[in-house]
Structure 1
Amino acid sequence: MRHAQIPEALSRLEAFDRLWRHRRVFAAVFLTTIAAAILALIVLPVRYLATASVIVAEPEPGVANVPPAWAQKIGDPADLESQLLVIRSPRLLRKVMNAPGVVPAVVHECEHAALFGSAERCQKISSDEGRFIDYVDSHYSVASAGRSRVINISYQSSFPEVAQRLANALTTAFLEDQRNESANSREVATSWLWKELKQLDGQLRAADEKIEQFRRSKGLMRGATAPITSERLTSIGQQLAAAETARADALAHLREIKSAQARGLTDAPSVLSSRTMADLKQHLTTVSAQLASATAVLGPKHPSILALTHEQALIQQRMADEMKNIAASAQKTFDASDALVASLKKEMDSAKTQAGSATLDEASIESMVRDANIKRQQYADLYKKASDLETERRVLLGSTRLVSLAELPDKPFFPKKLPFLAAGTTLALILGIAAALLADQLYPPPQNDERAVVPVARKGIAVAPVKAAPAVQALRKSTAASSGPAERGSLLSMMAGAPIVARLPKLKKPQPASAIGAILQNHLHVSLAEMLQLAEADAGFQRTLENLKTVLHIGEEKPGQRIVVTSPAAGEGKTLTTLALARHLAAAGCRVLAVECDLLKPTFARALSVDGEPGLSGVLVRSIALPDAVVQTADPNLDVLVAGSDGAKPADRLFSKNLTKLLSTLDDYDAVLIDSPLPARKSRYLAGVDSVLVCMRGDASLMGGAASAVAAVKASGASNIAIAVTMAEEDRRAAPEVLLMPAEAYARAG
């Protein structure tokens, strides 16, 4: 698991851990809710739902073109809403009451559901229309089916027969009401219009017959839009114009082809329109390109050159033949067009003669045709009005038909077992979780549940197991598998993905001599040297350092172990930890070298009262050799390599180097403790060091940077990483009150 994902997974499992601690409360509430749901499923009365369907505003079957009035009503949602109100209106419910067998069925249903002796109220339903309407209206459900024009009429009842009877009774009453309202004043107007149309139809038939008799007596025949002579003259004129145009086009093409043929060109538009010529020109281009390419390489008598030359000549010959064929085809087209123009001119002269003789006869029947057209227009107007009135009569009064009557329901509508139990299970989970979380708030677990660190093998640093929920233990195992065989013993360890190997307690303050001294003690500056003296006098602090020495196997394996002590930010206690551990190891007889790599904020020289020049800064700028920069302290077993004074420019050089290679010549020590901040840029700064100890304050509010700090250490090349919790709170429930050093003192000490 990546470090950025550890806090998120941890937060989820901590919530599950809270539930696990109060699993009995969760189980009790969960089972009680499930039992209540099952009891409600058994006790609640069963309801059946019967549904009938009708469709409203449906156009006539077989009508392809829907009139505008139909279309307006079909697409209007207000029409469906008005139909829903009509169905549930008291007028229709009174008709339902008058249906046979409805009232006894409703009274029987009411008596079956009545409680506390309210049977008299049910008997009043049979005689009181208001009570009947109020009762059945609460059981009816009328709604449209989605966005369609289908309306579902449903009724709920404890008896399936009653639900079916009441749903079908309201459906039948609605359909009958729609049919009874079909007659109105528009029907009378429509009947009068159809009568007038019948009279006009007889008059038009007589006028048309009179006109046809006159045409037959005069030998006049009409075409589709005019007399045949006129239509024939018009048709011949159109054909003649088209033939003359075609002859002109053919002549232009013929002249163009002959002109191009005379000049030996093949780029005329008429020639280029030929598919054969286009293919030959493309082939000629390809062969010419091949011939040019081959000529640049081969000699003129090479077989390939001769073959390509011959092929080029054949293509040119075929193009010339094709030009002749195109010219011959254009000549034939022109001759045919010229002959057609001559024939049409003769027919045109004959048609003009016939049309002139028929003009006088046509003028005599023009008046009769005009009267017939006036009557025909009147007939069309009256027919349109009659059709519109008929359409409006059908649409405005509704055109409702039955889709299906209600069937006898065989399955209960309420309660349904599976959805009811699913809802009960969901509610039980919610209530169980809420009860467990509430119990966790009322009875929180003990906060001090961390265990002491026990030493194990070199490659796996473990802590005593902490009793936790199985999900949390599973996360710890998965984290240990990804980071090493060591177990994680705390929240901070799980977040960072590294084991906690030490918990350095807060140092005790010296007892104030007076009340004023107690007030001013928190405001006095405590130097790093004084902090080291307090650490040496604190037995608990020294025991923790001894455990840290055992866990890190200092002095037990190869000499010259390089241990880097770092922290994600200032004030975490890394400098105090480095020097306190160095003094503890020196007092135990180990040869120790303490290296100060915090070049921007050096503190070693003042704390140990040694010379601070030139130090590590001088080594980096190559003004002094590394062995010469090492300074001996008052303790013969402790040497230091201080930072030096000028550390701004050497700090950039330090983080670009590798500590293992930089300190490779210092092999005369049992342990080399390196106090170093985290590098600001990605490099191999920590590659090859034996261990990296990340100091983190015990304050839970500052634990958010643990994962990022360990990730930054790994990015710098370190592999063996552990965490040392500094300023850890001791369990003082049974211990006497002591004064502890404030965190600001640690921050000033580094």
Structure 2
Amino acid sequence: MRQAVFNEALSGFDAVARIWRRRGVFAIVAGAVLALAVIAFVVLPVRYLATASVIIAEQEPGANTSAAWAQKIGDPADMESQLLVIRSPRLLRQIMSSPGVVDAVVGECERGRLLGSAEACQRLKTDVGAFIDHVEGRFSVASAGRSRVINISYQSSSPEAAQTLANALTQTFLEDQRTEGANSREVASSWLWQELKQLDQQLREADDKIQKFRRTKGLMRGANAPISSERLTSIGQQLSQAEAARADAAARLQEIKSEQERGPTDAPSVLQSRTIADLKQQLTMVSAQLASAAGVLGPKHPSILALTREQTIIQQRLVDEMQSIAASAQKTFDANTALVNSLKKQMDTAKAEAGSATLDEASIESMVRDTEIKRQQYAELYKKASDLETERRVLRGSTRLVSLAELPSRPFFPKKIPFLAAGVTLAIIFGVGAALLADQFGSPAIKPSATFGPPQPAPPPVVAPAVRDEIAPDIDDAPASVPDLPEQAEQPTVSDEPPAPPERRSHLPSVADVSILACLPRLKTLRQMSALGAILQGHQPLAIPQLLRLASEDGEFQHTLHDLVQELGLDRAARPQRIAVTSPESGDGKTATLCALAEHLTAAGSRVLLVECDLAHPAFAQVMALPPDRGWLRALEHGALPREEVLTTEHPHLDVLPIGEATGSVGDILEAINLDTLLSGLGDYDVILVDTPLPARDDFLAGIDWAIVCVRSDRSLIEPAVATVNKSRSLGAAGVGIVVTMAEAEPRSTSVGHVQTVAVYAEAG
């Protein structure tokens, strides 16, 4: 069993033992409380409770289910509003007029009167305020679970008065609901009929205005659209056809003219002419005859001359025919051009008319749309007015009676079993409290620490053999009590070689052959708070600025930091010390321990530089309000020196080198550098504290004097801490130590308390 569970079990048995020691006090107090409960049960007056029930938000007959009713059914807000209406003084004032109510209240007052005159009860008949004050506290109005049923109850010493008052308020509420519903519907119906009359007059005027506008503007419609629109469409179609014909004629004309310049050819527009085809055939035949005759006859022969003249005549006829075709194409082009121009003029005129007609149609459409909206509104209002009139005539109300109050036969208060159960419970509670108080203040136990004289040595902690051999081998050798004696600082000797890390003489045990340098106590706020706040405060992490403020005010914490400085040998170091602070997991207090140690050193006059190397969880910029773009990442990216990014703080002895932000991709920068390279040339400081995780680079901690591994005291396993210690050694750290954080505070009278705290942490693994 773990130590915390064992201590908790012992504390529970101790409480039982203390009660048993004071069992006489427990019996006396519990018997007295139980006797008082029995006396109260007999003496207290008997009260009766009568309950009537109503159900609300039911759909009314003759009314259609609307969104308002759907939202109203089961709405908690509507239920609460009905409860407030029932409790209102207005309804309590109205029940005075119900038959038998005032007499029942006066009789109840006289029956329960112990002191005073009877005039106070008789005044209830005439004084409305006194009547309301008397009955208001006795009424109980509440909903029945998650239903829509409301229970109206009245408590009284007289069962008849309880029944009468409960039924009177129920009937008054139902009648008030019916009256209010009918009046509201009558008012709404009158307003709707007045609005309908105004809408009817507006619709008639709008229809007359639309007809007059159509007659004035001459707006007539064709088969599918207004006449102006149909005319514009027809002219547009004609214009498209004319432009197509003109383009075709222009193409033919251009083709003929280009062929005329080059001479006769086989152009398509020329070949389409039958005359051209015949002439070309004749020309071919004459050319063939001329060629045949030229081979036999001479050039002066009459046949040759005749054929030549005939060939010339045919060619001239071809040219004339082509010119005739060109003239015909020119005329066709001119005619189409004239038609296109005429249609364009008609198109412009039609566009102007159509544009004017479009504006007029838009005005007409707007008026028609407004009229249609009014018609729809008229129809809806007429339907609502008819429904309201129907509902007003058949209204029963949205609230319905479930049951009236019956005459109660059994008393509501006090009830035997619940009253006695409460008495027994209170008797046990007061008896236990009295026994504990009597044991606390009657004979307090004498503790050894309260005796005068020199402190007695405490027994050594009990540790399992396996844990003693493997984890804490030097616990057996630790002294039982180490008095707080002032240490005499040794004068450092100056030599050419750097001194080795100072030998540790800590009274704390070791883990994996590594010293536990200090146990930093858990910091808690000192402000006043409730018991629940004090419990929750122990489970909520403190922000680092708040933690540092509490650490500066905590004397035990500062004393532990002083011991840590002595364990590290920082108070007698002959050269600047480099200390890397790491942890197995996040949340172990690495950054908080670093900052607290830095403040402690600067308060002692040492010049300290804080270096941030935790790329995954950077915190310096937020904690110390530093510029986010300053840091050694930017220096490496721009090829500058890291010392140029060192920032000063409000404390004259404390400087900071944050990570900063890089504009490019820096990759895994810790795998590419070691701390010795990064820290070289940063300036003249007494101590350089580095907040860093442990990468895989073999020489990452080369040049580091101490590697401090921060481990929380409530970690259940010690293996991560051992792995981090071994890794720190393998990375080249000269000295490795463990600092246990968030430990429960122990008195500093002896060193055994510290050993026990760390031993419990070692046993957790």
Normalised by the length of structure 2, the TM-score is 0.35
Normalised by the length of structure 1, the TM-score is 0.35
